Structure 1
Amino acid sequence: MINRQEEDIRSCAGCGVKLQTEATDKLGYVPAAALEKELPICQRCFRIKNYNEAASIALDQDDFLRLLGGIAGTKSLVVHIVDLFDFEGSLISGLQRFVGNNPVLLVVNKIDLLPKGINPNRLLNWVQKQTKKEGLKVVDVVLCSAKRNIGFERVIESIGRHRGDRDVYVVGATNVGKSTLINRLIRDYSDLERELTTSRYPGTTLDAVHIPLDDGKEIIDTPGIVYKHRLTEIVPRDVLGALLPDKPIKQLVYQLNAGQTLFFGALARFDFIDGDRQSFSIYISNALQVHRTKLERADELFAEHKGELLAPPSREQLEDIPAWTRHRLNIRRGTDTDIFISGLGWIHVNGASGALIDIHAPKGIRVLTRDALI
Structure 2
Amino acid sequence: MTEQSKTNEELRCIGCGAIIQSEDPNEPGYTPAAAVKKGLVNNELYCQRCFRLRHYNEIAPVSLTDDDFLQLLNHIREANALIVYVVDIFDFNGSLIPGLHRFVGNNPVLLVGNKEDLLPHSLRRTKLRDWIRQQANVAGIRPIDTLLVSAKKNHQIEELLNTIEKYRQHRDVYVVGVTNVGKSTLINQIIKQRTGVKDLITTSRFPGTTLDKIEIPLDDGQELIDTPGIIHQHQMAHVLPAQDLKLVAPQKEIKPRTYQLSDGQTIFMGGIARFDYLKGPKVGVVAYFDNNLQLHRTKFSNADTFYEKHLGDLLTPPTKTTKGQIPSLERFEFSTDEKTDLVYEGLGWITVPAGIAVAGWAPQGVRVLTRRAMI
State if a TM-score over 0.5 links the two structures.
yes
Which ranges of structure 1 fall in alignment gaps of 5 or more residues? 194-205
2:100 is equivalent to residue 99 of structure 1 = no
Q: Secondary structure at the residue paired with 1:130?
A: helix
Q: Secondary structure at the residue paired with 2:321?
A: helix
| Mapped contact 1:12–1:42 kept (Cα < 8 A) | no
How far does residue 6 in structure 1 lie from its aligned partner after superposition? 5.0
Counterpart residue number, 2:160: 155
Give distance in 2, aligned partners of 1:359 and 1:38: 49
Number of residue equivalences: 349
Counterpart residue number, 1:341: 344
2:198 is equivalent to residue 228 of structure 1 = no
TM-score where L is the length of structure 1: 0.85
Spell out, residue by residue over 1:22-60, the C-alpha distance to the aligned partner (whole angstroms, 9 max, x if none). 47xx84143563145696975169999xx9xxxx99964
| Mapped contact 2:29–2:49 kept (Cα < 8 A) | no
Counterpart residue number, 1:257: 262
2:11 is equivalent to residue 13 of structure 1 = yes
Counterpart residue number, 1:123: 128
How far does residue 244 in structure 1 lie from its aligned partner after superposition? 1.0
Give distance in 1, aligned partners of 2:164 and 2:106: 17
How far does residue 94 in structure 1 lie from its aligned partner after superposition? 1.0
Aligned residue among 71, 88, 92 for 1:87: 92
Give distance in 1, aligned partners of 2:180 and 2:112: 14
Give distance in 1, aligned partners of 2:347 and 2:50: 31
Q: Which amino acid aligns with 2:150?
A: S
Q: Which amino acid aligns with 2:192?
A: R
Q: Which amino acid aligns with 1:86?
A: D
TM-score where L is the length of structure 2: 0.84
CA RMSD of aligned residues (A): 3.1
How far does residue 161 in structure 1 lie from its aligned partner after superposition? 0.5
Counterpart residue number, 1:197: none
Counterpart residue number, 2:373: 372
Q: Which amino acid aligns with 2:115?
A: K
Q: Secondary structure at the residue paired with 1:70?
A: helix
Give distance in 1, aligned partners of 2:248 and 2:230: 19
Q: Secondary structure at the residue paired with 1:247?
A: coil
| Mapped contact 2:39–2:45 kept (Cα < 8 A) | no
Give distance in 1, aligned partners of 2:65 and 2:142: 24
Counterpart residue number, 1:361: 362
How far does residue 356 in structure 1 lie from its aligned partner after superposition? 1.0
Q: Which amino acid aligns with 1:303?
A: E
Give distance in 1, aligned partners of 2:293 and 2:127: 27
Aligned residue among 274, 285, 290 for 1:285: 290
2:328 is equivalent to residue 323 of structure 1 = yes
How far does residue 288 in structure 1 lie from its aligned partner after superposition? 0.2
Give distance in 1, aligned partners of 2:109 and 2:11: 30
2:273 is equivalent to residue 268 of structure 1 = yes
Counterpart residue number, 1:43: 46
How far does residue 130 in structure 1 lie from its aligned partner after superposition? 0.2
Which ranges of structure 2 fall in alignment gaps of 5 or more residues? 199-210
Distance 1:252 1:16, change over 3 A: closer
2:38 is equivalent to residue 33 of structure 1 = no
Give distance in 1, aligned partners of 2:49 and 2:142: 36
| Mapped contact 1:9–1:18 kept (Cα < 8 A) | no
| Mapped contact 1:82–1:109 kept (Cα < 8 A) | yes
Spell out, residue by residue over 1:210-261, the C-alpha distance to the aligned partner (whole angstroms, 9 max, x if none). 1222221111111222212000222111122221111110110011111111
2:75 is equivalent to residue 70 of structure 1 = yes
Give distance in 1, aligned partners of 2:85 and 2:95: 10
- Name the % identity: 44
Spell out, residue by residue over 1:172-215, the C-alpha distance to the aligned partner (whole angstroms, 9 max, x if none). 1222111111012223456989xxxxxxxxxxxx8212122222
Give distance in 2, aligned partners of 1:286 and 1:72: 41
